Amino acid sequence: MGCTPSMLLDHKSRRRDSTGSQEAALAKVAPTPVCNKAVQAAKAPRASLESDGFSIQLSSKKDSYVSQMGNNFATQLHIKRISGSSSGSPGARAGRRSSLALTPEDEPLVDVANRSPPPAHIPNAMLYTPPEPLELLCVFPERASRVCAAACSAVARAGGEARSVRSARDALDALRRDSEAKLPHVIVVDARQPQTLDAPLLARAIRGTKNTQHIILIAIVKKSAYLKDDFVVLPYLDAGFNRVMVETLSATAWCAEVLQCRAAGASARAQVAAVAALAAAVDRCRDLVAVTDDQQRILLANKSWCRVLGWRGDEGPRPLSETAGGEAMRQASSGARDWEAPVTLRRRAAPDPILLPCRGAAIGLTKSTSHIVFVCEQTHAVETERGRGSLHSIRRGSLDVRSVASDGLRRTSLAKLQGLPLEAPITKVISLLSAATEGAPPSTVACIERAVDMLRTSELYSPQMRDDPKMRVEDPVATDLIGALLSREQVNSNLFFMQGPTNTLSSRRSSNDSTVVRSQTNRTNIKHKTTGQLRELLDTALSWDFEIFRLEDMTRGRPLAHLGLALMGGRFDICAALECDERTLLHWLTIIETNYHSGNTYHNSTHAADVLQAVAYFLEKDRLKSVLEPLEAAAALLAAAAHDVDHPGTSSAFLCNARHPLAVLYNDVSVLESHHAALTFKITLNDNRVNIFKNLDRDTYKQVRHNVIDMILATEMTKHFEHLAKFVNVFYAKSSGSKEDNMHTDEPLALDTTALSLPENVILVKRMMIKCADVSNASRPQKFAFEWARRIAEEYFLQTDEEKAKDLPVVMPMFDRATCSIPRSQIGFIDYIIIDMMEAWAAFIDMPELVNHARSNHARWRELDEAGVSTLADVWRALGHSSIHGQLQAAQPTAEE
Ligand SMILES: Nc1ncnc2c1ncn2[C@@H]1O[C@@H]2COP(=O)(O)O[C@H]2[C@H]1O
């Protein structure tokens, strides 16, 4: 079952089969008293009768619907079930009302105007199909059947073509093999020998085949059987036959049948094509459209409906009331024929419903309702979010140019763009703002002009610390760190020319493809036997105070493969989503881990395992469980594991300054992140034994690849505020003030997850998830946070050492091991990078400990700072080597010691 146009047709044919055929049968054989009463009623217009659960009304009256068809007066026959059980349906209620009304004048005016459904007005032009020669398929088990031959020769005489098959299987094969254009118009099935050919079964199979709604099915029955039973036709009609015909060899009878079929078939095809065309039109509407039957079961839902509500396109008829509520539903249930009222719609991906304006109409070819149409307007807010940055919005933008122009708004910048086919949404925003200045007080004009000036810059999401006092970093260490993390400019104060070969970047770090080869040949045969203790530790892998450094110890520096196997293979079973075996996953994890540089103090596979663990922890939260598909969760875990693969232990700025081949390759733009993402796929696709994507079909692979790349690229810190601002603007609303002010104010933000229904907003969630995981070390319990702080500081110091040794520009001069204040660097890092982001994320996934840990770490660093503790050595002395990081420090002395 699916909410598709064919469901509309199925619904129609079901109605025709179950009600229409009963009507026909009843008209033919209804108990005499009812027939007699009906006949009497016909003679005495305006009478209404009830019998055996059916109401029969005959009236001779001026009927607006019939008169549209050219008859001013018509006699109408209504057969309606009036039992209490169906009273809930608008159609039933409308039916009961009209059956009780004796004259049109007796019906209250409001009923005439609002209660009866409007006719389904399909323009005649829509119901035209060009005449085609008739194609006939005969299914007759008997070899050289004379009845079959008679049918075929009648078709030939009518200028058509006939072919015959002898079994149900051959008939279905012919249907499935034929292209749509070649499908027969009529299928004649020999139903005379049920033991040789089960005609009803075949009819059901044909109707279950795609695009067969318009084919006319004729069952040939024996004359004796036809005459024996008044209801002989019913099982055939129920099975999907359109007609039942008595066996005949008469050329005249067959000719008449064939010609009638040609006419009926053309009309059926025209109707199917018209419904398909209308469904295609509805699919291209931006508004959310659903069509239900008279019981309000959804038969058709357009693409916008599916997209916004998170439905798959192929879901079956379901009660609209499961999804919709509010005044619109009450109006629909009251039997109103046309209404406008708000509707609340529940979405799959988000707990909160959305409220949209809705227009509805009850439709029916007769006075009773057959379908109800709901058109829910995509509100501006939803639309704007959906369109942001998409091609779709750019296309719409081109129309907006004209509409804005016709509004006569002032927009000098737009005038130049009139001739171009494209316009960015921001241009329209600027134009609207400019228009708003007209007649505004000077202070407002000044404000708007300042805003417009800001909008005109291309770096809308780049932080501007100097302009914003709240973002001003006072401490020189913090300035160094934050500046280096966020700045896209490389430090170029000294013109530097690299001496020697470009790939002699560092003896402790290499970042070229030879790493891949080495890893594949030597180190893929890791044994993954988990000892009891290791198993116990891995059992706690989903707790926020997971002992990552213990895992590093126990696995001798290979935590990623072990943790990855436990989480990805075990808890999340990504092998199912990726359709790969666990062995391939283990190989993948192993080779990825091998391509991390164990010599890096921070950017090694323990950091990758830590980020993986954080992502896994986040994925367990209800909000993410309800939003992300298994494949998206798998992509997030893969991205986390690989996000820093082959990190050289120096920053992108360093690589650019050093004119490293990677910086040259990636044009100094997102150098490291581009490399991590590219290398991840290179490693994966290079060898079938590690290729976890090898069984995915093209589209699924593309989707996973896109997700993994997007998440890895999102870890680039120069885009930190861009990602954070987008996330906050989409998912947080403030009770007062503009959204632009949402960040860095003391006013609490209100979480608003309605935007989750749009795929482009789910991308923001995935980016935020990996970003938060990447720097989650500052939001971990203190003993972990401090060890990570030591490790990153050590790596920064090594970079500074190397820059000095190679006479390169020093990216973070304050990060000199002799002088750098670790507490201050951490205070700055938490203040400017961590707190805002963790607050936004913690509220979104309901994980307050992220903020609590960050705050308590901040407080501890401040205490240390105030106690005069500064260098790494000071810190560990002050901590008394009592914690894990102290012990690790002791076991692994730094160069300083
Ligand atoms: N505790 C920390 N203190 C200072 N800088 C950090 C800390 N944790 C992460 N970072 C920086 O944040 C960056 C996030 O992206 P990278 O992993 O590439 O590199 C990371 C470090 O440069």
pLDDT digits (tens, 9 = 90+) for 354-386: 888 899 998 887 778 889 999 998 876 565 444
- Pocket probe for ligand 1: among 477, 479, 481, 485, the residue whose CB has the most ligand atoms within 8 Å is 485
Is 446 found in the same domain as 327?
Answer: no
Is 339 found in the same domain as 323?
Answer: yes
Is 515 found in the same domain as 641?
Answer: yes
Mean pLDDT value across residues 261-285: 84
Would 147 be classed as within a structural domain? yes
Is 144 found in the same domain as 284?
Answer: no
* DSSP code of residue 21: H
Active site residue 603: yes
Is 174 found in the same domain as 228?
Answer: yes
Is 892 found in the same domain as 825?
Answer: yes
How far, in Å, CA of 757 to CA of 308, rounded?
A: 5
Domain limit, last residue, from 242, 259, 277: 277
**In the chain, pLDDT over 70 holds for what percent of residues?**
70
Would 42 be classed as within a structural domain? no
Query: Could you read off the pLDDT of 293-343 as tens digits, one per residue?
Result: 888 898 899 988 888 888 876 666 788 888 898 888 888 888 888 888 888
CATH code, 878: 1.10.1300.10
Sheet of 47-51, strand order = 47-51, 54-62, 73-81
Domain count of the fold of the chain: 5
Is 569 found in the same domain as 467?
Answer: no
**pLDDT confidence of residue 459:** 64
828 has a pLDDT exceeding 90: yes
Q: Is 276 exposed, middle or buried (0-12, 13-18, 19+ CB in 10 A)?
A: middle
Q: Could you tell me whether strands 371-376 and 288-293 are parallel, antiparallel, or unpaired per DSSP bridges?
A: antiparallel
What distance in angstroms lies between residue 657's CA and the mean position of ligand 1's atoms?
19
527 has a pLDDT exceeding 60: no
Is 177 found in the same domain as 193?
Answer: yes
Around ligand 1, the residues with Cβ closer than 6 Å are 481, 485, 644, 715, 717, 774-775, 777-778, 788-789, 792, 825-826, 829
Tokens representing 377 are: 């307007």
Would 1 be classed as within a structural domain? no
Q: Which of 110, 441, 543, 475 is nearest to 101 (CA)?
A: 110
**pLDDT confidence of residue 50:** 35
CATH code, 181: 3.40.50.2300
Which residue in the list 11, 603, 676, 858 is annotated as catalytic? 603
Is 707 found in the same domain as 559?
Answer: yes
Would 541 be classed as within a structural domain? yes
* Residue 426 binned pLDDT confidence (cut-offs 50, 70, 90): confident
Q: Is 570 exposed, middle or buried (0-12, 13-18, 19+ CB in 10 A)?
A: middle
Domain limit, last residue, from 277, 297, 319: 277
- Pocket probe for ligand 1: among 643, 723, 829, 835, the residue whose CB has the most ligand atoms within 8 Å is 829
Q: Ligand 1 atom 22: the closest Cα is on which residue?
A: 485
Reported ipTM exceeds the 0.95 cut: yes
Rounded alpha-carbon distances, angstroms, from residue 32 to 26, 51, 600 = 10, 12, 95
Rounded alpha-carbon distances, angstroms, from residue 3 to 225, 296, 468, 599 = 39, 13, 52, 57
Range of the domain at 258: 127-277
Is 559 found in the same domain as 705?
Answer: yes
**pLDDT confidence of residue 652:** 97
Is 347 found in the same domain as 273?
Answer: no
128 has a pLDDT exceeding 50: yes
Would 736 be classed as within a structural domain? no
Beta strands in 514-573 (DSSP E): none
Domain limit, last residue, from 224, 244, 277: 277
Rounded to a whole number of angstroms, the distance between the first and last alpha carbons of the chain is: 71
**pLDDT confidence of residue 448:** 85
Tokens representing 64 are: 């607006």
The residue among 487 and 27 whose pLDDT is bigger is 487
What distance in angstroms lies between residue 580's CA and the mean position of ligand 1's atoms?
33
Residue 11 is labelled as binding a ligand: no
Query: Could you read off the pLDDT of 457-512 as tens digits, one per residue?
Result: 666 665 554 444 555 556 788 888 887 887 766 554 332 222 233 333 333 444 33
Query: Could you read off the pLDDT of 44-61 as tens digits, one per residue?
Result: 333 333 333 333 233 333
Residue 826 is labelled as binding a ligand: yes
Range scoring the smallest mean pLDDT among 307-311, 485-489, 616-620, 736-740:
736-740
Would 417 be classed as within a structural domain? yes
Query: Could you read off the pLDDT of 878-897 as tens digits, one per residue?
Result: 887 544 444 444 444 333 32
Would 19 be classed as within a structural domain? no
Is 260 found in the same domain as 289?
Answer: no
Helices (H), 298-422: 303-309, 327-333, 380-387, 391-406, 412-417
What distance in angstroms lies between residue 733's CA and the mean position of ligand 1's atoms?
29
Query: Could you read off the pLDDT of 192-246 as tens digits, one per residue?
Result: 999 999 999 999 999 988 888 889 999 999 999 888 888 889 999 999 999 999 9
Would 504 be classed as within a structural domain? no
**pLDDT confidence of residue 356:** 87
What distance in angstroms lies between residue 775's CA and the mean position of ligand 1's atoms?
6
